[in-house]
Amino acid sequence: MASQAGSQPVALARSAARERRRRVLGPLAGLSHGALLVWTALVVVPIVWTFLASVKTEDEIFGSAWSLPAVPRWDNWARAWEQAHVGRYMLNSVVVVSLGTAGTMLLGSMAAYVLARYRFRGGRAVYLLFVSGLAFPVYLALTPLFFVVRNMGSLPLIGPLIGLDSYGGLVLVYIAYSLPFTVFFLSAFFRTLPGAVAEAAFVDGASHARVFFQIMLPLARPGIVSITIFNVLGQWNQYQIPLVLLSGQSKDKWVLTQGIADISTAAGYDADWAALFAALSMAILPMLVVYTIFQRQIQAGLTAGALK
């Protein structure tokens, strides 16, 4: 009671100060919006401009960069989809990233779980081995990685599936390079989970694997979701590794980033600029849609990822 009465004047002083500020700083809020809208425009305008250019004719693109198209030319999109193989590249990206992320999450959570919740000789060393991968620039490994994957290709039976110019090779490399962060993040997560439920399950005779898949994995769901998003985006955006591992001889296996970049860099004087804008729009559109739907989870996943 006494303390409540004591806090009354403070609260009053606060609301008075708030009122005073509101009067003084009203215009400031307006200026804030001004600044924020400028950056909003910086983000939105280039993207909208690209979408507009994707339905223009070549003449309209070169004649007046800012004009609206007279008639929307959707045949640019058709050409990009068919002739520039954007559909094919997109499908390849979906295949590689789904397999890559699924494999990363399965292997990563298994390793993280064992390293976080079991004490055994060498466990700490294995954990440090994984985490040390966070510190290395990937460019250092590029050359030997190319030869490792090439040598894999000469293995009997499975070679063609995991060598150069194969989905399998790319998927395994994606998984391996996603492991350091996944293991690091998830083992921290598994460590925080309560052990009582797992112990009860052990007493009831559940196996180690069963406790992991049916109890610990569901409990770790928030962490799993964050890191899955982190890995999906990371692998979807990958450009450097496919550039090294999928050569020009296997264009049918190229991923989206590689395909779009190639359309752009290979474009000469007689390039189909309208189709390039259409291809670019097609690459951006699904990201925009997915982002709009999952923006909350994506922001949470990526920021959780950065605070390693």
Partner 1 sequence: MADRTKRSFLGNRAALTRARFIAGFLAAPVLLYLVYVISPYAQAFSIAMTDWRGVSAHPGFVGLANFERLLGDGVFWTAVRHNGLLLVLMPIGTLVIALFFAFLLNAGGATAASGVFGARFYRVVFFFPQGLAVAIVAVLFQQVFRPDGSGMLNAPLIALGLEPVGFLSDPGVALWSILGVLVWQAVGFYVVLFSAGMASIPRELYEAAEIDGAGRGRLFFRVTLPLLWDTVQVGWIYLGIAALDVFAIVWVMTAEHGGPDHATTVMAAEIYRNAFQYFKFGYASAMGVVLFFFTVAFAAVALRLSRRERVEF
Least distance to partner 1 from the beta carbon of 164, Å?
12
Place of tokens 């403070």: 10
User: Coil, helix or strand for 268?
Assistant: coil
When the beta carbons of 2 and 140 are compared against partner 1, the nearer one is 140
User: Coil, helix or strand for 294?
Assistant: helix
Least distance to partner 1 from the beta carbon of 129, Å?
7
Residues 102-131 that bind partner 1 (CB under 8 A): 107-108, 110-111, 113-115, 118, 120, 126, 129-130
Residues 146-175 that bind partner 1 (CB under 8 A): 146-149, 172-173, 175
* Nearest-angstrom CA–CA distance, 167 and 240: 15
Report yes or no: 261 and 93 within 8 Å, Cβ to Cβ: no
Least distance to partner 1 from the beta carbon of 130, Å?
7
Query: Cβ contacts of residue 158 below 8 Å, gap of 6+?
Result: 168
* Nearest-angstrom CA–CA distance, 84 and 273: 12
Least distance to partner 1 from the beta carbon of 270, Å?
15
Least distance to partner 1 from the beta carbon of 111, Å?
4
Of the candidate residues 176, 193, 201, 219, the single one contacting partner 1 (CB under 8 A): 176
Least distance to partner 1 from the beta carbon of 1, Å?
22
Binding pattern for the stretch 58-97 against partner 1, x by CB under 8 A and - elsewhere: ---xxxxxx-------------------------------
- Torsion angle, alpha carbons of 245, 248, 251, 256, to 10: 60
Tell me what percent of the chain is helix, strand and coil, each rounded to the nearest 5: 80, 0, 20
Residues 22-51 that bind partner 1 (CB under 8 A): 22, 25-26, 28-29, 32-33, 35-36, 39-40, 42-47, 49-50
Residues 223-262 that bind partner 1 (CB under 8 A): 233, 236-240, 243-244, 256-258, 260-261
Q: Which two tokens stand for residue 269?
A: 């004087």
Give the closest residue to 287 by CA, choosing from 84, 47, 83: 47
Query: Looking at this protein, which amino acid is placed at residue 307?
Result: L
Least distance to partner 1 from the beta carbon of 158, Å?
13
Phi/psi at 131 (5° precision): -65, -30
Residues 263-302 that bind partner 1 (CB under 8 A): 263-265, 273, 276-277, 280, 283-284, 287-288, 290-292, 295, 298-299, 302
Residues 189-208 that bind partner 1 (CB under 8 A): 207-208
Using CB under 8 A as the binding criterion, the count of chain residues that bind partner 1 stands at: 105
Cα(first)–Cα(last) distance of the chain, in Å? Answer: 45
